Amino acid sequence: MAAQETDVLIVGGGPTGVTLALELAVHKIPFRIVDKELQRSDKSRALGIQPRTLELLNRHGDAQTLVSRGNLSSGTTFYLNGKKAADIDISGLVEDSAFPLILIISQCETEVYLDECLAKHGFAVERGLEATSIVQDADGVTVKLNSSDGIEETVRAKYVIGADGAHSTVRRAATGLTFQGAAYPQDFILCDAHVRNSKVAWNRFSLCLGRGSLAVFPLKDGTCRVVASRINPKADAEPTLEDFQEMLNQLHPDAGELYDPTWITKFYLHHRGVNSYRDGRLFVAGDAAHIHSPAGAQGMNTGIQDSINLGWKLAKVIQGKRPDSFLDSYDRERRPIGQHLLETSDKMFTWGCSSNPFFIAFRNILFTWVLPWFVSSRDRRANIYKFISEFGINYRDSSVVGTASGYSGPVMGGDRVPDKTIKSMGQERQFLELITPDRHHLVLLSGIGSDAITEKAMREALSDFENKNSVEAKVHFILDEGADDVNVSRHVDIGNHLHGQFGCSKPSYIYIRPDGYIEHIGLLSQFEALLEWLR
C-alpha cells in the first residue's frame, strides 16, 4: 500500500499537540495528529493555565468559555509550620490584558476545550495510532503507524513534530537530540478529594512549608488537589487519604477535612531538557523537549506556547514564503525559554522541597522574615508575577525580530503585544481581538495630542509604502481619542491607553506576527526600515 502523504504529522494528542494542530488549521496546512491512547486520560496532570496562555488561546476561540469551567485564583496564601505567614495578592498587578489571573482547572477540561476548538475546523485527534518507526531523509519523513487493532500504515510527511511527552518516540528517533538531566530524589504524593469545614478562600491556592511541603489547589467542583513531598516515607508505601490528612493537620490546619477521594497516587519528578528543539525534519515540543518540577505551574503552558511559536513558522515554510532555515528560529527562540524555566523551577523546587533538615530549619526562619517584606511591595509582587504569568516572555534576542534604528520605548521587537480596550464602530472591544492567528498584522498608531496625525494621513503613508512593497498583513488604524476625524476611523484608542502601553506618543507602526509577538516596530517616519526588513 502506498504511503499516505501529509505536510505535517503531529505525534501526541495532548494540549501541546492539539494547539499545534490549531495553529496549522488556521493557516490551511494539511496535517494529521495521532495519539497511541484510545481515549483521553481522566486523570488531570497539569492544573494551572497562566494568563499569557489564556490570552494566546483566545485567538482560537472564546477563552472565557474555558475560564468559566475553572476557578480563577487571585493569589496565594503561605503557611509556615502550620501558621499563616503571608497572603500574596495578584489581583490588579496586570493592566494590559483581559486575562490577568491564573486559572485553576483540570487538564482534562483544558483538553476538552482544545478538542472543541479543533473540531470547529473539522479536525480531531486520531486515537489508537502509535508511531513505531520514524525515519527521515532529505525530502521528508517516513512514519509507520500501528493501530490498536494491529493494522499498520505508512505516512509520508514533510515534517514530524513530537508532542508525545517525556518518553517521546519522535525525540528518540532524532539521532541528533539528547535529553539531559536527572530525577529528583524526593517521593511525591497527590490526592484529588472533596473537602469540608475548610477556612480557606476558594479563590486562592495555598503553599505550605514545614517538615515537608504541601500545596492545596481549590477546584471548581467543590474538590481540591493536594500535592505533597514526603519526608522519609516507608519504602514503596502507597499513600492513603489518612497520609494527606495528617500532613494537612500539621502544615495547613485551615484546609479542612478531606473525604471521598477521586484519585490518590505517588510519583517522582525529573528535570531534563533537549540540546535542540530541531533535528532536520523532526521537531519536539512540550514535555518531549523539557520536563521539570511543577513549581510555578509552567509546564503545560510552556508546551502550548512552544506550539504557538512553531505553528505559523511551519505554515510559512510549507507555503513557500520563508526558507526552511527559518524554522531554526523555533529552537533559537523557545529553547532559551525552556532552559530558563528548567533552571528557575529547579531553584524554586530546591527551596520548597528540600529534605535536608538543616536547610529546612534555615528556610523556615528566613521565610518568616522575608515573606511579609516581599508582599508589602506591589513592585516586588509584580516582578515575580511577570515571570509566573509568562507575560515577561520575549524574543528580543532573536534574529527574526527587529526594531527601527534609534527607536526606543517600553515595547520593542520580540515583545508580547499588550492589550487595552478600544472602540470599533462605536463598540468597545479588546485590541487583541483584532490580532488573529492566521496572518501578520500591521498596526498604525496615529500618535496623541499635538503629535497626532489623521487617519487620512496614515492611509496616505500606507499607500506610499504599499507601492514599494507587497505586505501580506491585515492593516489596522488606531486613532487618538481626540482626533478630529474620529467618526471616520474604525478603531479609536480609549483614553489613549494603548498608545501608552506601546510608549508611542508619535505616529508609529507595529508589525505583528501570527503568534502575537512584535516582529518589527518603529516610528511612522521610519516606514523604510520596515520595507528593508521585509526584503
- The whole-number pLDDT of residue 346 equals 77
Identify the CATH number of the domain in which residue 138 sits.
3.50.50.60
Closest CA to 417 of 336, 331, 520: 520
Closest CA to 225 of 266, 267, 263: 263
Q: Are residues 309 and 408 in the same domain?
A: no
Closest CA to 40 of 122, 104, 151, 115: 115
The answer to whether residue 315 is domain-embedded is yes
Question: How confident is the prediction for the chain on average, in pLDDT?
Answer: 90
The answer to whether residue 386 is domain-embedded is no
- The whole-number pLDDT of residue 73 equals 92
CA angle 524/477/453 to nearest 5° reads: 55
Q: Are residues 59 and 127 in the same domain?
A: yes
Q: Are residues 426 and 515 in the same domain?
A: yes
Q: Are residues 194 and 277 in the same domain?
A: no
- The whole-number pLDDT of residue 96 equals 93
Q: Between helices 378-388 and 357-375, what is the axis angle to 10°? A: 120
Q: Are residues 233 and 133 in the same domain?
A: no
- Note down the domain range covering 259: 74-101+187-267+354-379
Identify the DSSP state of 468.
T
Q: Are residues 231 and 325 in the same domain?
A: no
pLDDT digits (tens, 9 = 90+) for 255-310: 889 999 999 998 877 789 999 999 999 999 999 999 887 665 678 999 999 999 99
The residue count of the chain comes to 535
208 or 309: which carries more pLDDT confidence? Answer: 309
Q: How far apart, in Å, are the Cα atoms of 153 and each of 77, 150, 163, 174, 241?
A: 53, 10, 20, 21, 46
Q: Are residues 342 and 306 in the same domain?
A: yes
The answer to whether residue 488 is domain-embedded is yes
Q: Are residues 455 and 502 in the same domain?
A: yes
Q: Are residues 258 and 302 in the same domain?
A: no
pLDDT digits (tens, 9 = 90+) for 301-329: 999 999 999 999 999 999 999 999 999 99
Q: Are residues 93 and 146 in the same domain?
A: no
The Cα 278–Cα 289 span in angstroms is 10
Written as nine digits, the cell of 254 is 485551615
The answer to whether residue 395 is domain-embedded is no
Written as nine digits, the cell of 225 is 488537589
The answer to whether residue 517 is domain-embedded is yes
Asked if residue 48 lies in contact with residue 302, where contact means CB atoms within 8 angstroms, the answer is no
Q: Are residues 342 and 359 in the same domain?
A: no
The Cα 508–Cα 212 span in angstroms is 54
Overall average pLDDT of the 330-358 stretch: 83
Q: What percentage of the chain exceeds 70 in pLDDT?
A: 95
The answer to whether residue 358 is domain-embedded is yes
The answer to whether residue 326 is domain-embedded is yes
pLDDT at 17 over 60: yes
* Window from 120-129, 147-156, 475-484 with minimum mean pLDDT: 475-484
Give me the sheet containing 518-523, strands edge to edge. Answer: 402-403, 518-523, 508-512, 440-445, 473-480, 491-493, 421-424, 427-430
Q: How many domains does the chain have?
A: 3
- The whole-number pLDDT of residue 487 equals 58
pLDDT at 468 over 70: no
Q: Are residues 406 and 259 in the same domain?
A: no
The Cα 61–Cα 418 span in angstroms is 19
pLDDT band at 230 (very low <50, low <70, confident <90, very high): confident
Q: What percentage of the chain exceeds 90 in pLDDT?
A: 63
pLDDT digits (tens, 9 = 90+) for 82-99: 888 888 889 889 999 999
pLDDT at 113 over 90: yes
Identify the CATH number of the domain in which residue 515 sits.
3.40.30.120
- The whole-number pLDDT of residue 176 equals 92
Identify the CATH number of the domain in which residue 227 sits.
3.30.9.10
pTM of the model as a whole: 0.94
The answer to whether residue 362 is domain-embedded is yes
